[in-house]
Amino acid sequence: MGFESPLQVLRISNGVMKLATETIDGILSSIAEIAKTAEDDLRAAESESDLYDRKVKYLGKKGSLKAIMRNVGQLSAEDRPKVGQEANVISRRLEALYQELVDEMKRKVTAASLAHDQADITLPGTGLPNGSAHPLTLITREVEAFFTRLGFDIAIGPEIETDYYNFEALNIPPDHPAREMQDTFYMEDGRVLRTQTSDVQIHYMESHKPPLRIISPGRVYRCDADQTHSPMFHQIEGLLVDKRVTFTDLKGTLAELVKHLFPQAKQTRFRPSFFPFTEPSAEVDMEFETPKGTRWLEIGGCGMVDPAVFEKVGYDPEEWTGWAFGLGVERIAMLKYGITDIRTFYENDVRFLSQFAG
Ligand code: FA5
């Protein structure tokens, strides 16, 4: 059957929208009229933003198509879907047309800019400057290469360490005066920022059987700051455990390393010293030229592994002997590159760093 239900719609007449009461046929013809007007209107747009504004006029929340849809509830149940379907078809068609026109406008803009900004492929390239490894990385790599050629493995340890691995297992009990020499940063839970890479000796020996040879590069921390001391710095630990190892092996190996790193080195000196975890112990000093004459600088500590340390890790000190050393990477880099202030390494000034490129 069907009857014509009236509906208030926006009618466009001479480009002006007016509210009018309509029947279903009138409404469908209004929708068709909106579609035709909208299509022409969209095609006449001159820019993307203009096109968008025009689309909103028909499809936006306050657009003419939406206005019809808002009042569709007043129609009979039979007529409602007819209007809804028609409005959806038109709305999809206008959306598709809008997208097509946007794409076309974009293509035109790109084509115009390509025609205008032609690249001159005959011009020489500008090139990017090469980056460079940090000087501390360069030294670490060089020391690693030297020792891995001698059959050493590389081992890594934690920077936050228990008191046991940083001190106690290295024969430094809580009241030992050697703790004074390594002023320490403590965590709230009693752990420490390790003061030396020697902690790796213990970790490694606990989990490996002798014979062994390792080096261990890493960051260490101490409350220490002046031109040649930093609160965070880098060390490279060395440990060799085997049968009948002598101090002469240790001296020969480190002297070779110095010759490798500093072909023009004047002299290396082994100065008697003390570390609780080596006996006997020595400091390794290097002599180098300065504008004010020659100077000695300590680059590390070394010695024969103390039998008390072997006992802590369950090695038989009657059967096994060994040597260990700990080198300061910053000190070696300062000597090698003539740097007088240790803080230069951490400022990351590109003018400084770019000198190490290549
Ligand atoms: C030690 O740390 C021992 N663990 C070394 C060692 C290992 C001895 C194995 C025996 C066997 P020492 O505190 O001297 O030793 O430090 C070693 C090197 O680290 C120093 O020679 C120096 O080159 C460097 N160093 C020490 N403190 C600083 C600092 N605050 N800033 C920069 N470099 C430092």
Contact between 229 and 342 (Cβ < 8 Å): yes
Q: What is the pTM of this model?
A: 0.69
Contact between 235 and 328 (Cβ < 8 Å): yes
- Supply the DSSP string of 292-326, one letter for each residue: TEEEEEEEEEEEEEPHHHHHHTT--TTT-EEEEEE
Q: What is the largest CA-CA distance in the chain?
A: 116
How confident is the model over 76-119, as pLDDT tens digits? 888 888 888 888 899 999 999 999 999 999 999 898 888 888 88
Tell how far the Cα of 275 is from the centroid of ligand 1, in angstroms. 10
Q: Tell me if 168 CB under 6 Å of ligand 1.
A: no
Q: Answer whether residue 139 shows pLDDT above 80.
A: yes
Q: How confident is the model at residue 14 (pLDDT cuts 50, 70, 90)?
A: low
Q: Tell me if 229 CB under 6 Å of ligand 1.
A: yes
- Measured from the CA of 301, which atom of ligand 1 is nearest? 8
Q: Answer whether residue 6 shows pLDDT above 60.
A: no
Q: With pLDDT > 90 as the criterion, what percentage of the chain qualifies? A: 62
Tell how far the Cα of 219 is from the centroid of ligand 1, in angstroms. 11
Tell how far the Cα of 306 is from the centroid of ligand 1, in angstroms. 18
Q: What is the pLDDT of residue 177?
A: 75
Report the residue among 161, 198, 215 best suited for mutation to probe ligand 1: largest number of ligand atoms under 8 A from its CB.
198
Residue type, 163: D
Identify which has the larger pLDDT, 212 or 190. Answer: 212
How confident is the model over 289-347, as pLDDT tens digits? 777 888 888 889 999 999 999 999 999 999 999 999 999 999 999 988 989 899 999 99
- Measured from the CA of 181, which atom of ligand 1 is nearest? 13
Q: What is the pLDDT of residue 7?
A: 55
Q: How confident is the model at residue 219 (pLDDT cuts 50, 70, 90)?
A: very high
Identify which has the larger pLDDT, 132 or 243. Answer: 243
Question: What mean pLDDT value characterizes the chain?
Answer: 89
Which residues, including other chains, have CB under 8 Å from residue 44's CB and lie 6 or more apart?
54
Q: Tell me if 306 CB under 6 Å of ligand 1.
A: no
Q: Is 55 exposed, middle or buried (0-12, 13-18, 19+ CB in 10 A)?
A: buried
Give CA–CA dist 184/196, Å, rounded: 10
Contact between 108 and 199 (Cβ < 8 Å): no
Q: How far is CA 155 from the centre of its chain?
A: 23
Q: How many CB atoms lie within 10 A of CB 301?
A: 23
Q: Which two tokens stand for residue 116?
A: 């205008």
